[in-house]
Structure 1
Amino acid sequence: MSITASENNLFDEWKGNREGFVSDGLVSELDYLNSKIKICVVLKEVNDPDGGGWDLREFLSNGARAQTWNNVVRWINSIRNIDRNIPWEDIDNIDEQDRKSQLKSICAMNLKKSPGTHTADIASLKSVANEDSEFIKKQFSLYDPDITICGGTGDLFKSVAGLDEYKWNRTIRGIWWYERAPCKYVVAYCHPEARVDNPLIVYGLIDAIREIYS
């Protein structure tokens, strides 16, 4: 069975628990499996005050939106060229076609499948993620990514994904990470739309991953 088919079977079971369920995961299974470095981005929830009921995979395949996803594209480009120092001018201007091209190769999953608003309700997020822990474990186990980037979800993801046995390490500049399997890393980082200048969001992560790989 394909990963996408396994995702959909899992979501069919999961949907009954969450009103407005928003599916997520692999944008393109083929592109993900063919990636030099398989990347999974773990976020909190989708921002949708209208109530959800759609598919994040389709949204990303259609180019998503600049907010949030431009920085993810920059992460992808930089991680897959980790030996290069990419100047900002080369990744400053990201358009819809760039997002379509790059986002199809990743996995993106939210810990809370029911939608929220621009600012996450942390108590609700933790409650729902803990209730759905077994589903989250099953979903993450489908992907076996090389790099998992937790965008504001580090400790919570570690707990609900059943990864508590792994010990946090810290880079020399203070970014937390752990190795969940040989050469398979999880990095706790800020949300890609954090209120920080974009170059700091991008190069801070790349600096950490370069150190982890060294």
Structure 2
Amino acid sequence: MTYENLIRKSTDLDSLFELWEKKAQVTERYMVNNIEHEVVINHADNKFIPDGIVNADLWHDSKHKKILYVLKEAYTDENEKAFDLAKWLRDYHPNLRIWNRIARWTYGIQNTSANRVAKYIPDIDKKEEIRKQLFEQIAVLNLKKSGGKSQSVTEEIAAYARSDREEIVRELQLIDPDIVICGLTYWILDQVVFGNKPLGGASTCDNWYYYKNLDGKERLYIDYYHPANRWPDLLNYYAVINIYQQALLSKISEI
């Protein structure tokens, strides 16, 4: 059986990541400011960082919305070992700016409906037990699984996604989210991974949400900034939550 077929037939995230980490080395090229760059993608030697569902038991219950965050890359310091991102979130529920913001967004989406917007609570991420509960309601998918850097190069992220598109598609299918929040990654997911044409004209949603069937199932995709952006937390919160509510209202208007 070919590597591609093994990926497509993976039945769980652990087996998918095991194959993915051992994938043969490839070289990808990409352009930045009309200058060609080359990157050698070797997951086994470049600190492969798996991600996925933080708490499988909660993920598969019927009480919570299944929210996936598609981000760019995870990274470690030069002297640190690779780690399992989902396990790290589950065990340590980090008190860090990016993850605190994701916790707030998760609270807002879980508690917002077409008729009600969950109010912003400034200190909701300050209590460790609340962070733990919120992290356990999410999944995370980084497009670049190895060789992570503190400063992302978008074109390099796209090169990794192009090389690993089969694996990314399968990970999305296995996670099976209801809602996908893209942190400045939607165009890579839509165009590079799934091969769709660039958005434009009538195909562009001014409210930054899309109901799309990219992998065999319709899901809600929210096209937003990366959670590391420098806009204030209050502005970010209501932007994401109101985009989500507008998406819900659009479905009601179709009935």
Equivalent position amino acid for 1:59 in 2: W
Deviations 1:15-43 (A, max 9, x none): 02412100100011111111431110000
The question of 1:45 aligning with 2:76 is answered no
Give percent identity, aligned residues only.
Answer: 28
Deviation at 1:200, TM superposition (A): 1.1
Q: Which moved more, 1:189-198 or 1:179-188?
A: 179-188
Alignment map for 1:6-155 (pairs within 5 Å): 6-17=12-23, 18=43, 19-34=46-61, 35-50=63-78, 53-61=82-90, 62-83=92-113, 84-88=116-120, 90-95=121-126, 96-155=128-187
Matches of 2:174 and 2:197, distance apart in 1 = 19
Residues 160 and 151 of structure 1: is their aligned pair in 2 closer, same or farther, counting only changes over 3 Å? same
Q: Quick check: which has more Rg, 1 or 2?
A: 2
**TM-score normalized with structure 1 length:** 0.87
1:11–1:23 Cα contact (<8 Å) kept:
yes
Residues 57 and 129 of structure 1: is their aligned pair in 2 closer, same or farther, counting only changes over 3 Å? same
2:108–2:119 Cα contact (<8 Å) kept:
no
SS of aligned partner of 2:73:
coil
**TM-score normalized with structure 2 length:** 0.74
Matches of 1:208 and 1:163, distance apart in 2 = 25
1:169–1:177 Cα contact (<8 Å) kept:
no
2:209–2:244 Cα contact (<8 Å) kept:
no
Gap runs ≥5 in structure 1: none
Equivalent position amino acid for 1:27 in 2: V
2:48–2:145 Cα contact (<8 Å) kept:
yes
Which structure has more strand as a fraction of its residues? Answer: 2
Q: Which moved more, 1:77-86 or 1:129-138?
A: 77-86
How many residues of Structure 1 are paired with residues of Structure 2 in the alignment? Answer: 207
Deviations 1:158-178 (A, max 9, x none): 1344273897442xxx34222
Equivalent position amino acid for 1:146 in 2: D
Gap runs ≥5 in structure 2: 1-9, 24-42, 250-255
